[in-house]
């Protein structure tokens, strides 16, 4: 019996060419594993394509619910955003994929796991750190980093497939490099490789329309949360994955969540991409809207720091670490009272607040108003400002004293 390798298979040209390459290079029995994180129609026809390419078996594993509940929700609760803009769409999916690849490798008794990520990107790190954390005994094969991988273009990969009797419906035409899942779709390549060039949005967008092409009428949306977890949209209770799907539909319609960023990759280079995250942008904003009512100032300050740290941890592929577990435990403790309803209007790329309610709201109308009440006397501010500003005043006095000595 031949040794087995589990290949993280997308059905694209790269991973299709890798199948015969693995058989030729290692004489492995190739088990393809496609992890469904919400790629949609990209999964059509994969079984036939994998078999035609020489795979002995194909697993298609649906982890949309796990992706939503175990990876997306913790990041939403934390407010984890990388470099102020990127909502971690690709980064959040990779640990779930790595976990499933390990499960299939164990089930099949495979000696290796192979992925098609290049040596320039973040995904090689995310996949391999996940595999190392969960299965340190399993070998990892990354063809793009190996000297015996000779294919450096689409044309070379297509010729390689043809030479091995694989005639597949891939063209040599240039297109964007995309990654799609339930949370977002990313776009790289073509004019995006030059930061001075404006994106060709009419050619590029998949989930959304630009704000210019969005409806001229705004649309109101209500959402509910229980302990920081979204539970309904417009009065309809749904599981998290379906909430994201519905928010994607609404957000895409109104041009929400389209960002053009230059980000710092883990490997040290900058890369430019356009991300469509319509539902995710709405979900993050709605959660923030509710937290404004329910969290005290000191907790909000520390939670913001933890959210930034979690974003870095997730971006760098360090999901299966004690640090991520500790940050998530802190964040979950802050969500105990993040329950209520948020209302907002979607209009031409904007999410406009339209009211927030919570049984755990810390907002007091009597305190916030200009009327003096039992809990607050305006004179109380005198002593507070004296003490709060004491360090500033002492420093200014000392500096003035030194200045006077110099002048005398």
CATH assignment of the domain containing 11? 3.40.50.620
Q: Which domain holds residue 52?
A: 4-66+90-163
Q: What is the domain-level CATH number for residue 189? A: 3.90.1260.10
User: What pLDDT is recorded for position 370?
Assistant: 66
Helix boundaries (H) for 109-153: 123-134
For residues 100 and 198, state if they share a domain. Answer: no
Which residues 6+ apart lie within 8 Å of 307 measured at CB?
Answer: 78, 79, 80, 81, 331
For residues 60 and 145, state if they share a domain. Answer: yes
For residues 181 and 117, state if they share a domain. Answer: no
Q: Measured between alpha carbons, how far is 357 from 328 in angstroms, rounded to an integer?
A: 25
Q: Measured between alpha carbons, how far is 104 from 245 in angstroms, rounded to an integer?
A: 27
For residues 118 and 159, state if they share a domain. Answer: yes
Q: Which two tokens stand for residue 289?
A: 């809207």
Q: Which of 192, 196, 195 is nearest to 204 (CA)?
A: 192
For residues 146 and 197, state if they share a domain. Answer: no
- Count of domains forming the chain: 3
For residues 241 and 202, state if they share a domain. Answer: yes
Residue 76 lies in a domain: no
Which strands sit side by side in the sheet containing 258-264, from one edge to the other?
A: 177-180, 185-188, 270-276, 258-264
Query: What DSSP character marks residue 42?
Result: G
For residues 112 and 252, state if they share a domain. Answer: no
What is the residue-level pLDDT of the chain in tens, covering all 408 positions?
A: 899 999 999 988 899 999 999 999 999 999 999 999 999 887 888 888 898 899 999 999 999 999 999 999 999 999 999 999 999 999 999 999 999 999 999 999 999 999 999 999 999 999 999 999 999 999 999 999 999 999 988 889 999 999 999 887 777 666 899 999 999 999 999 999 999 999 999 999 999 999 999 999 999 999 999 999 999 999 999 999 999 999 999 999 999 999 999 999 999 999 999 999 999 999 999 999 999 999 999 999 999 999 999 999 999 999 999 999 999 999 999 999 999 999 999 999 999 999 999 999 999 887 777 666 677 888 889 999 999 999 999 999 999 999 999 998
Place of tokens 């040599």: 172
User: What pLDDT is recorded for position 245?
Assistant: 98
For residues 38 and 156, state if they share a domain. Answer: yes
Residue 194 lies in a domain: yes
Residue 288 lies in a domain: yes
Q: Measured between alpha carbons, how far is 78 from 304 in angstroms, rounded to an integer?
A: 8
Residue 267 lies in a domain: yes
Residues annotated catalytic, as ranges: 14, 94, 123, 177
Rounded alpha-carbon distances, angstroms, from residue 240 to 81, 226, 237, 325: 19, 12, 9, 21
Q: Which two tokens stand for residue 297?
A: 């100032």
For residues 115 and 8, state if they share a domain. Answer: yes
For residues 22 and 142, state if they share a domain. Answer: yes
- Residue 182 has a CB neighbour count (10 Å cut-off) of 25
Place of tokens 């809207």: 289
Residue 172 lies in a domain: no
Q: b/e per residue, 303-325, with b = 16+ CB within 10 A?
A: beebbbbbbebbbbbbbbeeebe
Residue 243 lies in a domain: yes
């Amino acid at each position: 019996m031949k040794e087995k390798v589990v290949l993280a298979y997308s059905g694209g040209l790269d991973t299709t060419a890798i199948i015969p390459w693995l058989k030729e290079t290692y004489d492995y029995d190739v088990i393809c594993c496609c992890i469904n994180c919400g790629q949609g129609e990209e999964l059509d026809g994969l079984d036939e394509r994998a078999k035609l390419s020489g795979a002995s078996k194909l697993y298609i594993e649906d982890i949309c619910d796990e992706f939503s509940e175990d990876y997306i929700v913790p990041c939403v609760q934390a407010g984890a955003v990388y470099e102020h803009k990127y909502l971690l769409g690709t980064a959040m999916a990779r640990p779930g994929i790595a976990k499933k690849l390990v499960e299939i490798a164990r089930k099949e008794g495979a000696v290796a796991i192979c992925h098609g990520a290049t040596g320039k990107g973040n995904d090689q790190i995310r996949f391999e750190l996940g595999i190392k954390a969960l299965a340190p005994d399993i070998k990892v094969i990354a063809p793009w980093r190996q000297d015996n991988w000779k294919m450096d273009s689409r044309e070379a990969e297509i010729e390689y497939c043809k030479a091995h009797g694989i005639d597949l419906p891939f063209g040599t035409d240039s297109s964007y490099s995309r990654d799609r899942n339930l949370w977002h779709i990313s776009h790289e390549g073509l004019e995006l490789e030059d930061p001075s060039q404006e994106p060709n949005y009419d050619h590029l967008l998949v989930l959304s329309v630009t704000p210019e092409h969005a409806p001229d009428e705004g649309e109101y949306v209500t959402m509910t949360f229980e302990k920081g977890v979204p539970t309904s949209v417009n009065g309809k209770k749904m599981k998290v994955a379906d909430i994201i799907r519905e928010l994607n539909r609404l957000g895409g319609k109104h041009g929400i969540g389209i960002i053009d960023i230059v980000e710092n990759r883990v490997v040290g280079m900058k890369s430019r991409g356009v991300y469509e995250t319509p539902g995710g942008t709405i979900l993050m904003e709605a959660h923030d809207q509710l937290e404004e009512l329910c969290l005290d100032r000191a907790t909000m300050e520390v939670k913001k720091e933890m959210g930034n740290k979690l974003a870095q941890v997730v971006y760098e592929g360090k999901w299966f670490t004690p640090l991520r577990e500790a940050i998530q435990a802190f964040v979950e403790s802050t969500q105990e009272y993040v329950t209520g309803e948020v209302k907002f209007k979607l209009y031409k790329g904007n999410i406009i607040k339209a009211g927030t309610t919570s049984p755990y709201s810390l907002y007091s109308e009597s305190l916030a108003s200009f009327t003096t009440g039992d809990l607050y006397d305006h004179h109380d501010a005198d002593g507070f400002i004296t003490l709060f500003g004491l360090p500033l005043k002492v420093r200014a006095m000392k500096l003035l004293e030194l200045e006077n000595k110099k002048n005398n």
